[in-house]
Amino acid sequence: MKSSWVLVVSLGIIGNAFPQIRSADSAASRLQRVEDRQAIEQLLMGDYPRALDSGDWAAYAALFATDGTLIMGGGATKVTGPAAIEKYFSSRPTPGAAASAAPSPCPVPPGGHRNEHVVNNLTLQIDGDMATGQAYWQTIVTRDCKAVVAGAGHYEDVLKREGGRWKFLKREIVDDIPPRTTPAPAATTSGR
């Protein structure tokens, strides 16, 4: 009788240990997914727009995997690899503006401008060391204390973990509202 009681208790202890192991694996898996999501959100909504807005093309290019591709202009522009991406942006002329002699209370120097890319409405699907994501973007341009939405669209991304960090394997920038290429019509005032 005593030995059957010990057997029942032993089986109960062993049986109860297995759900704890599964639970621990599940907790570790869930924690990894949370950490991956946070790292990807930092890439997409923090590091990427800051590098873009500051014109730090080395930092921008470093966000791409060694075989990462940037696609723009409806597929007309495809650049692959961090070195090629950095060269592409570094060789483009920076937009210049005529300096204004009038003093401005704006933190942007007279005649200068500042871009701020805003990324939102992010969706992510993470599967191990690969992920896909979509997000909206808007470019806010400030010039002489006036801010406008200069363009808007969405990103279509494929990401991969490379060297322990999440990077772009493919980033497609889609212009849903293309940037303005001509000046906006002057606003008219009504007699009201």
Give residue-wise pLDDT tens across range 111-129: 566 789 999 999 999 999 9
Q: Where do we find the tokens 């409806």?
A: 74
Bridge partner residues of 167 (DSSP)? 160
pLDDT over threshold 80, residue 23: no
Structural tokens at position 101: 């002699």
Residue 102 has pLDDT above 90, yes or no: no
With residue 183 as reference, give the H or E element that holds it.
none
Q: What is the pLDDT of residue 143?
A: 76
The 8-class DSSP code of residue 74 comes to G
* pLDDT in the model for residue 99: 46
User: How many distinct helices (H) and strands (E) make up the chain?
Assistant: 4, 6
Token output for 69: 């591709």
Range with lowest mean pLDDT among 21-25, 67-71, 155-159: 21-25
